[in-house]
Amino acid sequence: MNQSAATEYSDDVRVAEPARAARRGGLHPVWKIWLPVPLLLLLLDLTFPYWFWNIPKLTGRSDDYGYQFLLDLHELRTPPPAGTTRVVAFGSSVTSVLDQYQAQRLLDARDAGTPVQLRRILSPGMKPSDYRTFFHAERASLHAPVVMYLFNWVDFFNPGFERDVKEGIRYLLPPWQVLEERASYLSLSSGLDLVLAGTSNLYRYRKPIKSSLHDHARTLLAWARSPSGELGFGVYADGYTRQRFALAAAELAGGTLEYLVEPAWLQQQGRVTVRFLLGGEGVGRETHREPGWKTWPLPAGAGGMLEVEADSAWNRRAAGVADDVRLLGVKLRQLPASGASADRRPPYEYPPVRPDEVEPFLRMGGTTGAEFERKWNEVLSAETEFAIRFRKYREGKLALKDRPFTVTDEFAEMEKLVAELAQPGTRVVLVNTPENPWILAEYQDGQFYQGYLRFFRELAGRNPRVEFHDLRDALPVEDFNDWHHLTFIGDLKMGPRFAEIAAGAASRLEGEP
């Protein structure tokens, strides 16, 4: 092309030669610039287990299940105190029925029996085949002679076990173990991905690292917008408080705080510990095993805001004493005159969410009776992703209802899992979790569900180290957020049952060969 043509349409394309700088000289040697890059990454990668798990997770347990699973797993690698029996509960999302902190408090409040440490790991969508892979590699590191599998029929829905590991679970399972077991089902891309995940911590754990980065960025903004600590908060108009509240110390009559620990609270949580803080510094702690009015004298000369924090919360509806869906702490004898509204946000704290905090989610808004039914029908018939999914679950279950029960792949995987877990010196607890009575009524007398229950009874019957608990009809419909996930009120009601099951299994372990 001649020069005139070149300048005619696009003129001379003024491009920078990439190697111009190189020709000019003055560049650093390749190794000096680029070698530190992999070395720095390698350093971060190798030291990852020593720093990452010490960074607090800043969101609730149900925010980012994968991150929570890995965090819980990391904690399980530390053995329990000597003489304590660890019970690890595991399963899919239905495992959220077990509030490990509530059950632990109830276990700790017992006067007799083996000390039990109850822990929970869960990941939505994790199937028996996935847990088999998981326990194959991790069983020894969990230090748990008792394992408790919480499941629902929906966990066995897939006719075959999942050939490729789904995105949400892929990095929770030990990568090399997955490769070994499922190599023939994996695509080249998935296989290479697992090789990378098995080789590099930064790659395998990139999702929780990202979550942590994002959460810290968000919490930095929340901190900047946080209210000052000079105002009271957390007190309802009827004298009940939130789990954490604050009021001006000067307003306490006679310099003493008078508060009520309700009997229902102790029934739900076993015992209650209350901490007192002045200016952010702890100045006292009381543990109550008996209900009634309590007093706590303010230290002499104390001023400013008195902050009070209980180690648990309770709910009046769960206790059957009132139709009240609030999560409560103590009840105050005297309301603070200057106000300490329950709606006001507390000042910023790091981490902003505690691991044992209950998330007060009620999909039907805490309604009951006819209003609950109306709301239920409205939510479940909507064209939302949630409603579509849960309609499919129902259709799927009803389609199987009258078919004969067959041991498909996930059930076979369950048999293998139980056989592998039920070794001498261990106990395996199988728990069929509560189901919404409305859907249960539609299929529980059908051939398939009866066969399903028989399968687990026989599984337990075949091995003395295995026990089966059927909790399918434990709760009324108002305690459900959908077909098989409970409200936090339902969870609170189930706490004592799980404490009892865990304690029983631990005690039976003592008689094991």
CB of 4 to another protein, least distance (A): 9
Residue 5 binds to another protein (criterion: CB under 8 A): yes
In this structure, how many other beta carbons lie within 10 angstroms of the beta carbon of residue 483?
A: 20
What lies within 8 Å, CB to CB, of 492 at 6+ separation is 99, 102, 268, 314, 315, 318, 358
Residue of the chain from 74, 166, 210, 392 that contacts another protein (CB under 8 A): 210
CB of 12 to another protein, least distance (A): 8
Instruction: Give the 3-state secondary structure of residue 76.
Output: helix
Residue 3 binds to another protein (criterion: CB under 8 A): no
Which phi and psi angles does 337 have, rounded to 5°? -65, -35
User: What is the amino acid identity at position 421?
Assistant: L
Residue of the chain from 59, 123, 200, 312 that contacts another protein (CB under 8 A): 200
Q: Are strands 327-328 and 314-315 parallel, antiparallel or unpaired?
A: antiparallel
Residue of the chain from 157, 176, 203, 296 that contacts another protein (CB under 8 A): 203
**Which helix (H) or strand (E) is 220 found in, with range?**
helix 206-224
CB of 174 to another protein, least distance (A): 18
- Bridge partners of 288, per DSSP, are 272
Residue of the chain from 1, 140, 220, 237 that contacts another protein (CB under 8 A): 1
CA 3/CA 43 separation, integer angstroms: 55
- Candidate segments 96-104, 206-214, 262-270, 381-389, binder of another protein by CB under 8 A: 206-214
In this structure, how many other beta carbons lie within 10 angstroms of the beta carbon of residue 362?
A: 13
Residue 224 binds to another protein (criterion: CB under 8 A): no
- End-to-end, the C-alpha distance of the chain in Å comes to 91
CA 192/CA 184 separation, integer angstroms: 13
Which phi and psi angles does 240 have, rounded to 5°? -70, 155
CB distance 466 to 460 below 8 Å: yes
Residue 8 or 359 having the CB closest to another protein: 8
In this structure, how many other beta carbons lie within 10 angstroms of the beta carbon of residue 300?
A: 6
CB of 194 to another protein, least distance (A): 9
CA 486/CA 488 separation, integer angstroms: 6
Instruction: Give the 3-state secondary structure of residue 152.
Output: coil
Residue of the chain from 88, 94, 209, 418 that contacts another protein (CB under 8 A): 209
Residue 20 or 225 having the CB closest to another protein: 20
Residue 196 or 337 having the CB closest to another protein: 196
CB of 31 to another protein, least distance (A): 9
CA-CA-CA-CA torsion sign (19, 23, 25, 29): positive
Instruction: Give the 3-state secondary structure of residue 36.
Output: helix
CB distance 80 to 143 below 8 Å: yes
Residue 22 or 407 having the CB closest to another protein: 22
Residue of the chain from 130, 181, 193, 479 that contacts another protein (CB under 8 A): 193
CB distance 88 to 147 below 8 Å: yes
- Candidate segments 2-10, 174-182, 224-232, 244-252, binder of another protein by CB under 8 A: 2-10
Residue 37 or 370 having the CB closest to another protein: 37
Residue 17 or 343 having the CB closest to another protein: 17
Residue of the chain from 46, 183, 213, 322 that contacts another protein (CB under 8 A): 213
CB of 312 to another protein, least distance (A): 36
Residue of the chain from 158, 166, 185, 196 that contacts another protein (CB under 8 A): 196
Report, in this order, helix, strand and coil percent for the chain, each rounded to 5.
Answer: 45, 15, 35
Residue 136 or 216 having the CB closest to another protein: 216
- The pattern of x and - marking residues 285 through 324 that bind another protein according to CB under 8 A reads ----------------------------------------
Radius of gyration for the chain, computed over Cα atoms and rounded to the nearest angstrom = 28
DSSP letters for 314-351: EEHHHHTS-S---EE--EESS--TT--BTTSPPPP-SS
Residue 25 or 424 having the CB closest to another protein: 25
- Candidate segments 31-39, 79-87, 105-113, 149-157, binder of another protein by CB under 8 A: 31-39
- The pattern of x and - marking residues 32 through 51 that bind another protein according to CB under 8 A reads xxx-xx--xx--x-------
Cα 357 to Cα 23, 120, 178, 244, 425: the distances in Å are 62, 15, 34, 11, 34
CB of 261 to another protein, least distance (A): 47
CB distance 491 to 363 below 8 Å: no
**Contacts with another protein in 9-28 (CB under 8 A)?**
9-11, 13-23, 26-28
Q: Where are the beta strands (DSSP E) in 400-465?
A: 427-432
Residue of the chain from 3, 30, 140, 225 that contacts another protein (CB under 8 A): 30
Residue 1 or 370 having the CB closest to another protein: 1
Residue of the chain from 82, 112, 140, 188 that contacts another protein (CB under 8 A): 188
Q: 169-192 burial by CB neighbour count: b if 16+ within 10 A, else e?
A: bbbbbbbebbbebbeeebeeebee
Residue of the chain from 131, 175, 189, 411 that contacts another protein (CB under 8 A): 189
**Where does this chain bind another protein (CB under 8 A)?**
1, 5, 8-11, 13-23, 26-30, 32-34, 36-37, 40-41, 44, 188-189, 192-193, 196, 200, 202-203, 206, 209-210, 213
